[in-house]
């Protein structure tokens, strides 16, 4: 009654949060390079009235920590050895699209970018770790956004096909697990980052740095990404039959409970929140545009132009597994507004989830929620599930002895893994568990180093100073024990 024999244990990061070297070896900027956290309301893009284009315009008073990040680009060998030291049998990261095709629309790839990933992937394999590679983790090349308007322009489908064909051929036989678009179901609340959507020729007003993104733009991007996802599956099947393609969606919001038994709150939790979580998953996994999406198109007159051959492509090329992130749960109360960030949605406080993570972030800690989410997803899609993000960010500094005693992190992990195991006993097929992020990286949501997730501490701070020295936290050895025992150390503690 333990975890499955071939369970995948490891950790997950993203290129834009760890690599740094943002303009090195031919790479050009991506969308997150011009932002201090993806929640930023003022990204470094401005409208140029003379050229009638958006252009990169970074604020000299801001610290863009992702530009150097933790310098994984130059330190990946030592960092991957640290990951292997915990017994990881897989490791998730992303390929930065802009390292392979710097502007996104080139005819030929950048060989220096490919050479970096050649060696990084080979190093993982030598260390006994299966690479789990995300093709797009909030890393759309900035040029594709400023020049073409991003994914609302169907030209990006062909640019994407060229990119994925290149990496599929390059890493045939080496990468078995590919993920398409990271947390792309965040697109309606964060279209610029999650969907790379920008209206170029219609800025709302000169003071608005990112212009107006209309409902039409978002749904055009939605459809084009659905087509691109299907092409990804098709191309992978043709190029490397031993590899699998999965989707990757944020699913914290699946655990949005009705605040009470008021039918409006019960249906609101389902219709207003949960369906907004599934509108990509239903296409990626089931192969059809769902009816509730078509209703939105009818009522808001924003239906994209669809081609029959593309709808057939979507139907015939669904993903092989469903990967997701889960951090926390929330509640829905029609009388209280909801907002969200990278951890999920936030509604009215749940009186039955009394525990929160330590300040300053204070996320509700609901380990039972991951079992709930896994059952909902498996019942809906009947696909193997892969937990590729679950973790806790803490404000940590070395103590007077040069150590970090992070008991709360291990408490969070162990409690969640207990309920992952319960879901497996429920009959849910689960491929593995990847902790986010096993080494301190730049926070996606806030663009800072203060919010630390790692088992490995990195000496870097919000103002950009630091030696980048790596130090093991107490949790390093504890997570190692969990992996060594295939989770039995949790189940029998």
Using one digit for the tens of pLDDT, what is the confidence trace for 75-125? 999 999 999 999 999 999 999 999 999 999 999 999 999 999 999 999 999
Contact 249, 386 (CB under 8 A): no
pLDDT of residue 199: 60
pLDDT at 205 over 60: no
Q: What angle do CA 252, 332, 350 make, to 5 degrees?
A: 80
Which positions are annotated as active-site residues?
A: 389
Task: List alpha helices for 255-398, DSSP H.
Answer: 263-268, 275-278, 281-286, 291-300, 308-316, 368-381
Q: Tell me the pLDDT band of 211, cut-offs 50, 70 and 90.
A: low
Q: Tell me the pLDDT band of 2, cut-offs 50, 70 and 90.
A: confident
222-234: per-residue pLDDT in tens? 999 999 999 999 9
Query: Look-up: residue for tokens 């994209």?
Result: 304
444-488: per-residue pLDDT in tens? 988 999 999 999 999 999 999 999 999 999 999 999 999 999 999
pLDDT of residue 27: 98
* Over residues 228-242, mean pLDDT: 98
Contact 486, 471 (CB under 8 A): no
Question: Cα 5 vs. chain centroid, distance in angstroms?
Answer: 27
The predicted model scores a pTM of 0.95
Least confident range of 40-44, 73-77, 186-190, 270-274: 40-44
CB atoms within 10 A of CB 266: 15
Q: Mean pLDDT in the chain?
A: 93
CB atoms within 10 A of CB 316: 11
pLDDT at 341 over 90: no
Nearest to 475 by CA among 417, 433, 413, 415: 413
Q: Tell me the pLDDT band of 266, cut-offs 50, 70 and 90.
A: very high
Nearest to 397 by CA among 336, 331, 344, 471: 471
Return the percentage of the chain with pLDDT > 70, whole number: 97
pLDDT of residue 334: 93
| Distance, CA of 19 to CA of 353 (rounded, Å) | 36
Q: Which has more confidence, 240 or 55?
A: 240
pLDDT of residue 347: 85
Half-sphere exposure of 368 (CA within 13 A, CB side): 7
pLDDT at 173 over 70: yes
């Amino acid at each position: 009654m333990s975890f499955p024999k071939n369970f995948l244990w490891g950790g997950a990061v993203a290129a834009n949060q760890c690599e740094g070297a943002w303009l090195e070896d031919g790479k050009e900027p991506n969308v997150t390079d011009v932002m201090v956290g993806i929640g930023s309301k003022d990204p470094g893009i401005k409208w140029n009235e003379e050229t009638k284009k958006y252009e990169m315009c970074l604020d000299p008073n801001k610290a863009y920590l992702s530009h150097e990040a933790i310098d994984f680009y130059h330190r990946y060998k030592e960092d991957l050895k640290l990951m292997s030291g915990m017994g990881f049998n897989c490791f998730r990261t992303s390929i930065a699209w802009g390292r392979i095709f710097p502007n996104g629309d080139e005819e030929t790839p950048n060989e220096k970018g490919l050479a970096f990933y050649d060696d990084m992937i080979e190093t993982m394999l030598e260390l006994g770790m299966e690479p789990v590679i995300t093709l797009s983790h909030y890393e759309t090349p900035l040029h594709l956004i400023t020049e073409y308007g991003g994914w609302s322009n169907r030209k990006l489908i062909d640019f994407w096909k060229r990119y994925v064909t290149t990496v599929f051929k390059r890493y045939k036989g080496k990468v078995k697990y590919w993920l398409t678009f990271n947390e792309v179901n965040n697109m309606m609340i964060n279209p610029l980052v999650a969907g790379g959507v920008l209206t170029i020729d219609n800025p709302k007003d000169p003071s608005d740095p990112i212009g107006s993104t209309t409902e039409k733009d978002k749904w055009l991007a939605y459809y084009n990404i659905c087509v691109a996802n299907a092409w990804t599956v098709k191309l992978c099947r043709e190029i490397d039959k031993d590899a699998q393609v999965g989707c990757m969606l944020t699913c914290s919001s699946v655990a949005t409970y009705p605040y009470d038994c008021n039918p409006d709150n019960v249906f609101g939790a389902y219709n207003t929140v949960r369906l907004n979580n599934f509108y990509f998953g239903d296409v990626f996994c089931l192969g059809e545009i769902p009816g509730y999406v078509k209703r939105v198109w009818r009522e808001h007159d924003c239906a994209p132009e669809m081609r029959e051959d593309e709808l057939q492509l979507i139907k015939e090329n669904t993903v092989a597994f469903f990967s997701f992130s889960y951090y926390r749960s929330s509640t829905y109360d029609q009388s209280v507004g909801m907002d969200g960030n990278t951890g999920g949605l936030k509604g009215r406080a749940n009186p039955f989830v009394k525990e929160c993570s330590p300040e300053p972030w204070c996320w509700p800690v609901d380990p039972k929620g991951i079992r709930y989410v896994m059952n909902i997803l498996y019942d809906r899609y009947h696909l193997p599930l892969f937990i590729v993000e679950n973790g806790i960010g803490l404000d940590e500094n070395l103590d007077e002895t040069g150590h970090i005693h992070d008991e709360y992190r291990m408490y969070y992990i162990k409690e969640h893994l207990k309920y992952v195991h319960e879901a497996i006993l429920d009959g849910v097929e689960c491929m593995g568990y990847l902790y986010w992020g096993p080494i301190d990286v730049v926070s996606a949501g806030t663009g800072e180093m203060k919010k630390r997730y790692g088992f490995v501490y990195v000496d870097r701070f919000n103002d950009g100073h630091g030696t980048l020295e790596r130090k093991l936290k107490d949790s390093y050895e504890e997570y190692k024990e969990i992996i060594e025992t295939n989770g039995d150390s949790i189940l029998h503690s």
